[in-house]
Amino acid sequence: MLTGKRQSAPVQYRPSAELVPQVLGGSTSAVARMITRAEAEYDEAAPALSDLYRHGGRAHIVGITGVPGGGKSTLISALIRDYVAAGHKVAVVAVDPSSPYSGGAILGDRIRMGQAADPSRAFIRSMATRGHLGGLSRATFQAVDVLDAAGYSPILIETVGVGQDEVEIVTAAHTVVVLSPPGLGDDIQAIKAGVMEIADIHAISKADRPEAAATAAAIKAMIALGSDAPRSGWQTQVLTLSATTDKGIAALVEAIDAHRVHLQASGELAPREEAIARTRVLSNINHLIRRRFDDGTQAMSAQLQAVAGRASDPLTAAMRLLGPENTEHRT
Amino acid sequence: MTTQNNSAPAGTTSSAPQRIRVLVAKLGLDGHDRGAKVVARILRDAGMEVIYSGLYKTPAQVVDAAIQEDVDVIGVSLLSGSHGPLFGALCQQLRDKGAGHVLVVAGGVIPEQDYAGLLESGVNAIVPQEARSELIVTTIRDMVAARGPI
Amino acid sequence: MTIYAKHALEGLQAEQAEWEREELAATLKARAEEKAEYRTECGIPLKRVYTAADVAHIPLEDIGFPGRYPFTRGPYPTMYRGRPWTIRQVAGFGNPESTNQRYKYMIETGQTGLSTDFDLPTLLGLDSDDPMAFGEVGRVGVSIDSIDDMDRLFEGIDLEKISVSLTINPSAWVIYAMFVAVAERRGYDFTRLTGTLQADPLKEYVAQKEWIYPVRPAVRLLRDLIIHCTNTTPKMNPISLSGYHLSDVGGNAIQEIAFIMAFTIAYCEEVTGAGIDIDDFAPRLSFFFISHQDFFEQICKFRAARRVYARIMAQRFGAKKPESMRLRVHVQTAAMSLTKIEHTNNLMRTAIQALGAVLGGCQSMHTNGLDEAFAIPTEEAMKLAIRTQQIIRDEINVTSVVDPLGGSYFVESLTSEMERQIWEVLEEVDRLGGAVKLVEDGWFQQKLADSAYSTFKLFDTGEKISVGVNSNVDASSSSAEVEIHPYDENCTNLQCLRLKELRATRDTGLVQSLLAELQDQARNEDVNLLPKTIELVKARATLGEICGALRDVWGNYDEPNII
């Protein structure tokens, strides 16, 4: 059995600082590379990413979530087409879970997304959670920063699954779209359990199936029941759509835009931005603290042994490691 | 699994897990996707992040996806016999679009007589159809390690 | 009714218990068996030995007689005594003339039916000069762009005398239109045309992956084709329901039959839904299965498939004619089983698989060339493949008795167990909403991908053996230098040149207005698109123009992301 092989030359590593002006100039490959470096958590890339954050703040960030098989990819491909046709530079960050066993992942759905789109106007990036609890990693946010700095808007963040990821998307996006396939009984239970409250817009896919209208009606009824609306002044929208036949896509684009306008006009944008900032700062605190102790420092090992041997307890050990200045408010 | 070697550029040390990213792609009109999908799973199980292109992709579409996803490797499985022209176009476009660093691995039905021509046109490795998973995985890991961080 | 009396069975069971205590126990004590458990390829547990007790529950009517419901023992009463299976080797490459030459060689060698492979652009409804056809013209099959190419393909071959199988799928209705238009050009009697179109769209979406349109319009095109073919060329089979490809992408024997029967049900519902009686078209439904490695399981698969099909037709669709209930099958040996290392071993593999197909009761067969896993077979390889069938047919006397394995305790027991498992899958498909919906959802695709991956794992760990590759490896035998069928670089140029000439010499205005009419008809579910398509090919519209016109109406197909 013969394997053909050719010696490949090592590549020249380009410092991240050099990539910053290219990202700001909209270079696709520079944007892609900065996201790679955010994921790799190279120390060298941190100042560049901070720099890019300060250049951002213009993009409208839309979270799109829902159960697997609900048609998210087909919907996103239709949205890309519409946004590009309307002259936007649109980006998608599609987040999928890493395998807990191997750490590997099968990512995204490039089969449908942006197949016909002009790659200079539509940027699609598939990202794995890489073990981050709750789905959205620091790198996901940083990817959005990079795309924002490069002038992409809207930026769509797609997360799969039910539960944690979907709830977390509220703290990453300006507008949250929950996509559900049509169905009765169990499907609605799933919506009820996880995501009723987080949606600014509910979209029901596969509008051509007979159950779609009933599902939409059921969701509307549930929204009416839970009328202690968590989002001030915005009437949650419920739409049915069929991405394969383009039905309802324009209405969804309109609803997303209406929500963006609402956020600005109602003054709700600022608290949302702050909520996003809060999530991110907390997640960085978490990251920095973990990094400080993950490396198996001597102090850490000593505390671990003490806790394991019941000579100390987890809380006391954590407080000792962090030092009094970091813990006094909690004690 | 780390991809870093001893001569890693300054500032590229990291405590985060480093993952090899692979675009598993189908080029042209060949619909045989059994092998491509099996390979996607093998690479996932070996700790890599895999993006599958779907069928009927042109070299331009595959290259554009590879750039945006910033993959380390493009793995293409071809059973239609048209590997000569299709790999030639793929590698040419990678170079034209400044993505010559992306490693290209060919699989599927490729006669040994054609190996030299494919390597000449820019393919980095050819894995024979009867390869076991270990050979596929080590071929990719070794190539990426030799190339170094991007 | 079963054949065994209760007391006889009791006596048998007592004797078996005694045998287990004595002979068996002593042998096992002296030497353990090699494996803790034995299973068929698709996981059915195998006993050490089968007895009358294992078949006592099977009603005698389930086994029955050949040529009689439920057709377990064969579709015809006399089987190979009346007519041996058709030796039908598939061929196709390059320009129509190149394939035509190969056909003439194969007819001289003793082949009794023709079978055409088309290149990928033709299969996918693209003209040779389409940018997507880059590098693919004439590569894996013959290139057909227009009615003129179809005429060249069968030049000098009498289509009233030899049956022609056309391995064509999403663009099948256009290829059929060209075929009948050529027949008309030559003045043939339509009722004497024999042959088969593959035209099985659902298996394309889940297995062979050649598609143009979304699933539902593709099924509608098949409906139109079946109805038109039944009325116009009554001896042609408009469809070959192809389990082969389900196996080719990883399906096991149960999945092969169960999935293809689920598709059969969907197609029959589509056609009967248009008001056509099941007995008007079911006699011309034909099948295409693989003959794979697990010898007995494969034989039982053919027998179980015939029984399941007969019951579906009679019970679900209320068919009355026996011809509607008898499953006729073309078989190809398993290309997946062939190896490049020590590739001459492939001759043995193919011969054994071919024997299995004959013992299973096939109606026609393609035996793979020994180089078929990695190249278009050479003439020498094709000759050996044909010889393999001739040796089985003429030298070893397996054709004198119909269903010679019928009544074997093991074979009957395994046949019944496979049938039971096939019904289980079919019930699940019904429960989940039917085959068309499940194809759209990717349900079949996921099952097949999972099966392919677990098969790969078995090879990877050495549990499944491929002699010379992962077992009995001879370090000195590298994969042989194979003579590769040369690709004619001029093929694309010639096809493109002919397209250019054709477009210059026809009435393009007429073609355009006919295409617009076809589009209008496509928007109406109830119109049969065949007559207009035949008009189009006669006006020398190209394959790409016709398929493209409907793509504008129906759109493209996006596959579900199944890994």
CB–CB of B46 and A102 under 8 A? yes
Q: In terms of domains, do A82 and A33 share one?
A: no
Closest CA to A293 of B2, B15, B18, B13: B15
Q: Report the C-alpha gap between C522 and C212 in whole angstroms.
A: 15
Domains of chain B: 21-147 (3.40.50.280)
**In the prediction, which pLDDT does B2 show?**
41
**In the prediction, which pLDDT does C220 show?**
97
The nearest CA of chain A is from the CA of C374 a distance in Å of 14
* Closest chain A residue to C553, measured at CA: A245
Q: Report the C-alpha gap between A102 and B46 in whole angstroms.
A: 6
Question: Using an 8 Å Cβ cutoff, are C390 and C87 in contact?
Answer: yes
Helix (H) or strand (E) holding C329: strand C329-333
Q: For residue C250, list chain B residues with Cβ-Cβ distance below 8 A.
A: 34
**In the prediction, which pLDDT does A190 show?**
53
Is the pLDDT at A326 greater than 90, yes or no?
no
pLDDT, mean of residues B42-50: 97
What are φ and ψ of residue A225, in 5° steps?
A: -65, -45
pLDDT digits (tens, 9 = 90+) for C425-439: 999 999 999 999 999
CB–CB of B119 and A101 under 8 A? no
What are φ and ψ of residue A239, in 5° steps?
A: -125, 145
Q: Report the C-alpha gap between B108 and B102 in whole angstroms.
A: 20
pLDDT, mean of residues C153-169: 94
CB–CB of A1 and C479 under 8 A? yes
Is the pLDDT at B6 greater than 60, yes or no?
no
pLDDT digits (tens, 9 = 90+) for B92-117: 999 999 999 999 999 998 988 899 99
Chain C contact present for B38, CB below 8 A? yes
Give a yes or no: residue A331 inside a domain.
no
Which chains touch B (3+ CB pairs under 8 A)? Answer: A, C
> Which token pair is C267?
């197609």
The burial class, CB within 10 Å (0-12 / 13-18 / 19+), for C399 is: middle
The nearest CA of chain A is from the CA of B66 a distance in Å of 10
CB–CB of A104 and B46 under 8 A? yes
What are φ and ψ of residue C230, in 5° steps?
A: -60, -40
* Half-sphere exposure at residue C554, Cβ-oriented, CA atoms within 13 angstroms: 27
CB–CB of B52 and A33 under 8 A? no
Entry pTM? 0.91
3-state secondary structure A160-188: ECCCHHHHHHCCCCCEEEEEECCCCCHHH
Is the pLDDT at A163 greater than 60, yes or no?
no
- pLDDT tier at C23 (50, 70, 90 boundaries)? very high
Radius of gyration of chain C (CA): 25
CB–CB of B43 and A103 under 8 A? no
Q: In terms of domains, do A301 and A159 share one?
A: no
Closest CA to A131 of B5, B3, B144, B47: B47
> Which token pair is B81?
């016999």
**In the prediction, which pLDDT does A201 show?**
93
Give a yes or no: residue A34 inside a domain.
yes
CB–CB of B130 and C563 under 8 A? no
Give a yes or no: residue C12 inside a domain.
no
Q: In terms of domains, do A38 and A101 share one?
A: no
CB–CB of C482 and B111 under 8 A? yes
CB–CB of A69 and C561 under 8 A? no
pLDDT digits (tens, 9 = 90+) for B53-69: 999 999 999 999 999 99
Give a yes or no: residue A87 inside a domain.
yes
- pLDDT tier at A59 (50, 70, 90 boundaries)? very high
- pLDDT tier at A230 (50, 70, 90 boundaries)? low
* Half-sphere exposure at residue A287, Cβ-oriented, CA atoms within 13 angstroms: 15
Q: In terms of domains, do A160 and A254 share one?
A: yes
Is the pLDDT at C165 greater than 60, yes or no?
yes
pLDDT digits (tens, 9 = 90+) for C85-96: 999 888 888 899
Q: Report the C-alpha gap between C319 and C313 in whole angstroms.
A: 5
**Which of C118, C134, C213, C473 to mutate against chain B (most B CBs within 10 Å)?**
C134
> Which token pair is C446?
């996921």
pLDDT digits (tens, 9 = 90+) for C119-142: 999 999 999 999 999 889 998 899
* Percentage of residues in chain C having pLDDT higher than 70: 98
A136: helix, strand or coil: coil
Q: For residue C126, list chain B residues with Cβ-Cβ distance below 8 A.
A: 29
CB–CB of B81 and C140 under 8 A? yes
Question: Using an 8 Å Cβ cutoff, are A106 and B22 in contact?
Answer: no
pLDDT, mean of residues A62-75: 85
Question: Is C279 or A164 the better-scoring residue by pLDDT?
Answer: C279
**Which of A6, A49, A125 to mutate against chain B (most B CBs within 10 Å)?**
A6
How many residues comprise chain A? 331
The nearest CA of chain B is from the CA of A91 a distance in Å of 10
pLDDT digits (tens, 9 = 90+) for A11-43: 889 999 999 999 999 999 999 999 999 999 999
Tell me the CATH number at C443.
3.20.20.240
* Closest chain C residue to A108, measured at CA: C561
Question: Using an 8 Å Cβ cutoff, are C118 and C141 in contact?
Answer: yes
Strand partners, C45: C39
Give a yes or no: residue C215 inside a domain.
yes
* Half-sphere exposure at residue B17, Cβ-oriented, CA atoms within 13 angstroms: 17
Give a yes or no: residue A134 inside a domain.
yes
Q: How many domains does chain A have?
A: 3
Q: For residue A73, list chain C residues with Cβ-Cβ distance below 8 A.
A: 561
**In the prediction, which pLDDT does C309 show?**
98
**Which of B37, B43, B113, B134 to mutate against chain C (most C CBs within 10 Å)?**
B37
Q: In terms of domains, do A93 and A205 share one?
A: yes
Give a yes or no: residue A306 inside a domain.
yes
| Backbone dihedral region for residue C92 (phi beyond 0: left; psi -120 to 50: alpha; all else: beta) | left
pLDDT, mean of residues C533-538: 98
Question: Is B6 or A278 the better-scoring residue by pLDDT?
Answer: A278
* Percentage of residues in chain B having pLDDT higher than 70: 95
Count Cβ neighbours within 10 Å for each residue of C514-552 and write b for 16 or more, e otherwise.
bbeebeebbeeeeebbbebbbbbbbbbbbbbbbbbbbbe
Reply yes or no: is the peptide bond before residue C531 cis, omega within 30 of 0: no
Closest CA to C123 of B83, B30, B61: B30
A208: helix, strand or coil: coil
Q: For residue A69, list chain C residues with Cβ-Cβ distance below 8 A.
A: 441
Q: In terms of domains, do A254 and A192 share one?
A: yes
What is the CB neighbour count within 10 angstroms for residue C555?
15
The nearest CA of chain C is from the CA of A154 a distance in Å of 24
> Which token pair is A289?
């603290």
Mean pLDDT of all residues belonging to chain C = 94
Radius of gyration of chain B (CA): 15
Q: Report the C-alpha gap between A130 and A107 in whole angstroms.
A: 12
**Which of A244, A245, A246 to mutate against chain C (most C CBs within 10 Å)?**
A244
Is the pLDDT at C28 greater than 90, yes or no?
yes
Mean pLDDT of all residues belonging to chain B = 91
**In the prediction, which pLDDT does B7 show?**
62
Q: Which residue segment(s) compose the domain that A73 sits in?
A: 56-268
Q: In terms of domains, do A133 and A191 share one?
A: yes
Which stretches of B64-128 are assigned E, i.e. beta strand?
A: 73-78, 103-108, 125-126
Q: Measuring CA to CA, how many Å separate C503 from each of C130, C511, C518? A: 14, 10, 19
Q: For residue A73, list chain B residues with Cβ-Cβ distance below 8 A.
A: none
Give a yes or no: residue A153 inside a domain.
yes
Among the partner-chain residues B30, B38, B130, the one whose CB lies closest to the CB of C452 is B38
Give a yes or no: residue A273 inside a domain.
no
* Closest chain A residue to B8, measured at CA: A13
Q: For residue C117, list chain B residues with Cβ-Cβ distance below 8 A.
A: none
Tell me the CATH number at A79.
3.40.50.300
Among the partner-chain residues C126, C374, C469, the one whose CB lies closest to the CB of B109 is C374
Q: In terms of domains, do A95 and A231 share one?
A: yes
What are φ and ψ of residue A104, in 5° steps?
A: -80, 180
pLDDT, mean of residues B126-149: 93
Is the pLDDT at B3 greater than 50, yes or no?
no
**In the prediction, which pLDDT does A194 show?**
58
Q: In terms of domains, do A35 and A101 share one?
A: no
Report the range of poorest mean pLDDT among A296-310, C66-80, C138-152, C212-226. A296-310
**In the prediction, which pLDDT does A73 show?**
86
Closest CA to C287 of C315, C316, C267, C317: C267
CB–CB of C134 and B37 under 8 A? no
Give a yes or no: residue A96 inside a domain.
yes
**In the prediction, which pLDDT does A68 show?**
77
Give Cα B70 to chain centroid, integer Å. Answer: 12
Give a yes or no: residue C255 inside a domain.
yes
CB–CB of C214 and A244 under 8 A? yes
Q: In terms of domains, do A46 and A73 share one?
A: no
The nearest CA of chain A is from the CA of B24 a distance in Å of 10
Q: Report the C-alpha gap between C245 and B31 in whole angstroms.
A: 11
Is the pLDDT at C547 greater than 90, yes or no?
yes
* DSSP code for B27: B
CB–CB of C479 and A112 under 8 A? no
Which residue's entry shows tokens 């082969």? C244
**In the prediction, which pLDDT does A135 show?**
59
Give a yes or no: residue C190 inside a domain.
yes
pLDDT digits (tens, 9 = 90+) for C496-535: 999 999 999 999 999 999 999 999 999 999 999 999 999 9
Chain C contact present for B61, CB below 8 A? no
Q: How many domains does chain C have?
A: 1
* Percentage of residues in chain A having pLDDT higher than 70: 86
* One-letter amino acid of C247: S
Q: Which residue segment(s) compose the domain that C324 sits in?
A: 77-461
Is the pLDDT at C484 greater than 70, yes or no?
no
Q: Report the C-alpha gap between B64 and A175 in whole angstroms.
A: 29
**In the prediction, which pLDDT does C458 show?**
94
Last-in-domain residue among A240, A268, A296: A268
Q: Please report the sign of the dihedral spanned by the C-alpha atoms of residue C349, residue C353, residue C354, residue C359.
A: positive
**In the prediction, which pLDDT does A266 show?**
93
Strand partners, A242: A247
Strand partners, C289: C331
Give a yes or no: residue C84 inside a domain.
yes
Q: How many residue pairs from chains A and C have C-beta atoms closer than 8 A? A: 20
Q: In terms of domains, do A302 and A177 share one?
A: no
**In the prediction, which pLDDT does A331 show?**
43
Q: For residue C123, list chain B residues with Cβ-Cβ distance below 8 A.
A: 29
Q: Report the C-alpha gap between A8 and B125 in whole angstroms.
A: 10
Q: Report the C-alpha gap between C514 and C532 in whole angstroms.
A: 7
**In the prediction, which pLDDT does B5 show?**
46
pLDDT digits (tens, 9 = 90+) for C243-273: 999 999 999 999 999 999 999 999 999 999 9
Question: Using an 8 Å Cβ cutoff, are A105 and B49 in contact?
Answer: yes
pLDDT digits (tens, 9 = 90+) for C304-345: 999 999 999 999 999 999 999 999 999 999 999 999 889 999
- pLDDT tier at A115 (50, 70, 90 boundaries)? low
